[in-house]
């Protein structure tokens, strides 16, 4: 039963203005828009930007602090959007009320939104962070008072993949004069630290711990993107592994292996399966296919299959043809004819398998699409028949925000290929050029992971991809044992190869990022199953449990930051129940406490820290939340009008339903 006090508070709540701020690292500009009664104005300005980056064995945590000034003359809700990039995760969220830092915690999403939205109706001080698309994060803070300087902080986690020995960090900045501090720690010597974008002050070059400060942007750079590169002093084809283990718990491991540039390039049969739709994404897919046709070599054989809106896909030939100028011209001509808005990508992929020949040559299919095919139809092509599917590698390249990411990822993984997301037209050429270079030279194929002296389980990816030149593989899993153990990658080049990394399974060894990486991989695996095969109570409940235990944001969880002083009796009781259930989950997952172990003190939602805590240790890792609802106004309320009491009731009912799901637990 909803108390009448809620209704009175809802009816008394008004917002005079709504501000939407887009802090977009994918571009060089900060876009700010304010809307009042349908009229767009400006007034929420970024006045300071600070970035502190800590790189621990290729795992980077970038804490981005922005300070905004409200020059609108009215109380506003700030709505912010951060483009962190594909594969990046937001691992913490906080904002300041004056000198007090309000740090968010991960809660079930429906309940977190209900608490946030019921609090904003009372013109109080919550913050909420969700994910609006892959690599794009949206967060809201209310209220921001007239002329107030509001600080917000987001920490972005990402793994810095290597090309041969070179690791690279890329981050778009908003301000030319952003303060940037970076530390790099590794077990390998850190050499040749450089930045083509910014001047650097470097200490510790050549050691295993380097600190640096990025100065002004170089005069010849027009983009505000920060680019940092450094070399790791390890031998070619030397796998390296790290372990995290808490006392009396099973451990976690992560293993990486990078390949150098290949001296010899093997020939292959290359088939391009191309989205032929007349959409913008289809145009990008055909543009990428044209790049691959141009890059094909005379030692390759080529075929092109174009998905259409008709019964049969268009194709270049009934079997791959040796590449020459005539074949390139015919392939490019095939790409020029677009079909309708909806094309049958699954049928085109199935046709491409039937056009393969069992000649013993390397067979590679590259699927390039921005359409939204049925994930089940795509995967069915792998299980509908015998050879020549066996031994054919499939690389999937997606364009735009609306692809079936789960299907594309699983399709590539099950065939030992890789998934690549092209986020924009600007990213197309460099990403596809690199893909063409890599698939031309497989270095190790048919990879398997072996272990001596320990037991491993829940390893991700389940199917190791082939290793191509200047690429890196990363494997995460659980590990159990005592003392020394060896993890080995077995593969095939001209002969069988076994590459070994040694680890020490001590009673307690701390590399927290190792556990966090595994937590994200396990949750991502569950979310892929849900996307492909539907939500089941078992998949949903395990996803929620792991997300709360490891501090990961998912479609079912979100960050909530709210001062304890702003809680009403009802929201305090609701939040108390959520926290109690979260503690019960942690008791069932004691090995997951690492996900919260390096948070600053007082980091629960509503806990406030002093301004001096702004440089506290980086907080817990979290995976990005998928799509957030796009809405204007104060968390969905009508600008300038009263909040509908029935809406508040619906929010409370949703939160109570969320609590019931948590209380139910997994007793069954």
The stretch 99-103 carries a mean pLDDT of: 90
Among residues 512, 529, 552, the one where a domain terminates is 512
Do 148 and 217 have their domain in common?
A: no
pLDDT at residue 222 above 70? yes
Q: Which domain holds residue 564?
A: 4-49+61-157+537-664
Whether 213 is covered by a domain: the verdict is yes
Do 309 and 391 have their domain in common?
A: yes
Do 397 and 274 have their domain in common?
A: yes
Instruction: Name the residue among 95, 134, 132 with its Cα closest to residue 116.
Output: 95
Whether 172 is covered by a domain: the verdict is no
Whether 552 is covered by a domain: the verdict is yes
Distance of CA 317 to the CA centre of its chain: 38
Whether 357 is covered by a domain: the verdict is yes
Do 448 and 433 have their domain in common?
A: no
Whether 165 is covered by a domain: the verdict is no
Do 67 and 20 have their domain in common?
A: yes
- pLDDT tens, 260-285? 877 656 678 999 999 988 888 888 99
- In the structure, what pLDDT confidence band is assigned to residue 299 with cuts at 50, 70 and 90? confident
The stretch 364-382 carries a mean pLDDT of: 75
Are 71 and 45 a contacting pair, CB within 8 Å?
yes
pTM: 0.78
Q: How far apart are CA 439 and CA 445, in angstroms?
A: 12
Among residues 405, 440, 475, the one where a domain terminates is 440
Copy the structure tokens of residue 327. 């074949």
Do 250 and 225 have their domain in common?
A: no
Distance of CA 327 to the CA centre of its chain: 38
Distance of CA 181 to the CA centre of its chain: 23
Length of the chain: 668
- pLDDT tens, 230-270? 999 988 888 999 999 888 888 999 999 998 877 656 678 99
Do 499 and 551 have their domain in common?
A: no
For 218, which DSSP code?
P
Whether 427 is covered by a domain: the verdict is yes
Whether 150 is covered by a domain: the verdict is yes
Do 9 and 118 have their domain in common?
A: yes
Collapsing DSSP to helix, strand or coil, 529 comes out as helix
Are 401 and 280 a contacting pair, CB within 8 Å?
no
Do 343 and 407 have their domain in common?
A: yes
Do 74 and 138 have their domain in common?
A: yes
Q: Given this model, what pLDDT does residue 201 score?
A: 93
Higher pLDDT pick, 623 / 116: 116
Do 479 and 606 have their domain in common?
A: no
Do 213 and 244 have their domain in common?
A: no
pLDDT at residue 427 above 70? yes
Collapsing DSSP to helix, strand or coil, 512 comes out as helix
CA dihedral 52, 54, 59, 61 (to 10 degrees): -30
Q: Given this model, what pLDDT does residue 122 score?
A: 67
Q: Given this model, what pLDDT does residue 192 score?
A: 94
- pLDDT tens, 151-205? 999 999 999 988 889 999 988 888 888 899 999 999 999 999 999 999 999 999 9
Instruction: Name the residue among 157, 183, 184 with its Cα closest to residue 171.
Output: 157
- What is the CB neighbour count within 10 angstroms for residue 333? 11
The CA-CA-CA angle for residues 81, 601, 77, to 5°, reads: 30
Whichever domain contains 326, its CATH number is: 3.40.50.410
Whether 311 is covered by a domain: the verdict is yes
The stretch 9-25 carries a mean pLDDT of: 33
Q: How far apart are CA 94 and CA 605, in angstroms?
A: 9
Distance of CA 74 to the CA centre of its chain: 35
Number of domains the chain is built from: 4
């Amino acid at each position: 039963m909803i108390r009448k006090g809620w209704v009175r508070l809802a009816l008394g709540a008004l917002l005079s203005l709504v501000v939407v701020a887009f802090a977009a690292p994918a571009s060089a500009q900060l876009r700010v828009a304010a809307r009042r009664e349908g009229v767009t104005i400006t007034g929420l300005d970024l006045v300071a930007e600070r970035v502190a980056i800590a790189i621990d064995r290729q795992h980077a945590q970038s804490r981005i602090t922005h300070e905004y000034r409200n020059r609108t003359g009215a109380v506003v809700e700030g709505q912010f959007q951060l483009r962190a990039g594909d594969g990046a995760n937001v691992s913490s969220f906080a904002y300041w009320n004056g000198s007090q830092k309000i740090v968010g915690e991960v809660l079930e999403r429906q309940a977190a939104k209900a608490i946030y939205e019921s609090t904003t109706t009372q013109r109080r001080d919550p913050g909420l962070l969700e994910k609006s698309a892959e690599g794009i994060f949206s967060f809201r803070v209310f209220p921001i008072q007239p002329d107030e300087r509001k600080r917000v902080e987001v920490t972005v986690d990402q793994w810095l993949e290597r090309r041969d020995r070179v690791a690279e960090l890329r981050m778009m900045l908003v301000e030319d004069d952003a303060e940037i501090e970076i530390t790099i720690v590794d077990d390998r010597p850190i050499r040749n630290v450089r930045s083509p974008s910014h001047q650097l002050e470097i200490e510790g070059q050549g050691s295993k711990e380097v600190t640096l400060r990025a100065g002004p942007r170089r005069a010849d750079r027009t983009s505000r993107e920060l680019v940092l590169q450094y070399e790791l002093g390890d031998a070619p084809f030397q796998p390296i592994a790290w372990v995290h283990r808490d006392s009396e718990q099973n451990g976690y491991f992560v293993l990486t292996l990078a390949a150098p540039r290949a001296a010899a390039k093997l020939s292959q049969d290359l088939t391009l399966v191309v989205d032929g739709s007349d959409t913008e994404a289809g145009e990008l897919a055909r543009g990428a296919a044209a790049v691959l046709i141009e890059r094909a070599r005379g030692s390759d054989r080529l075929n092109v299959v174009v998905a259409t809106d008709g019964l049969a896909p268009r194709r270049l030939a009934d079997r791959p043809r040796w590449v020459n100028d005539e074949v390139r011209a015919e392939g490019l001509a095939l790409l020029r004819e677009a079909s309708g808005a909806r094309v049958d990508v699954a049928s085109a992929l199935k046709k491409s398998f039937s056009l393969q020949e069992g000649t013993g040559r390397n067979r590679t299919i590259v699927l390039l699409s921005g359409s939204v095919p049925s994930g089940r139809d795509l995967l069915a092509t792998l299980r509908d028949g015998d050879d020549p599917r066996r031994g054919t590698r499939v690389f999937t390249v997606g364009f735009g925000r609306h692809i079936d990411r789960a299907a594309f990822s699983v399709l590539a993984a099950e065939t030992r290929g890789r998934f690549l997301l092209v986020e924009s037209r600007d990213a197309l050429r460099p990403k596809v050029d690199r893909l063409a270079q890599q698939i031309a030279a497989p270095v190790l194929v048919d990879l398997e992971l072996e272990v001596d002296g320990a037991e491993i389980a829940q390893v991700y990816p389940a199917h190791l991809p082939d290793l191509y030149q200047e690429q890196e593989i990363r494997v995460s899993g659980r590990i159990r044992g005592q003392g020394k153990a060896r993890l080995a990658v077995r593969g095939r080049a001209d002969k069988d190869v076994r590459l070994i990394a040694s680890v020490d399974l001590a009673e307690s060894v701390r590399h927290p990022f190792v556990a966090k990486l595994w937590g994200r991989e396990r949750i991502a695996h569950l979310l892929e199953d849900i996307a492909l095969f539907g939500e089941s109570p078992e998949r949903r409940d395990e996803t929620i449990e792991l997300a709360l235990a490891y501090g990961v944001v998912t479609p079912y969880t979100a960050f909530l930051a709210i001062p304890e002083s702003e809680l009403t009796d009802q929201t305090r009781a609701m939040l108390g129940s959520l926290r109690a259930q979260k503690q019960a989950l942690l008791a069932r997952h004691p090995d997951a406490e690492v996900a919260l172990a390096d948070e600053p003190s007082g980091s629960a939602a509503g806990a406030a820290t002093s301004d001096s805590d702004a440089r506290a240790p980086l907080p817990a890792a979290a995976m990005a939340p998928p799509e957030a609802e796009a809405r204007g106004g104060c968390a969905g309320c009508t600008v300038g009008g009263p909040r509908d009491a029935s809406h508040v009731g619906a929010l409370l009912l949703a939160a109570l339903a969320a609590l019931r799901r948590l209380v139910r637990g997994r007793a069954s």
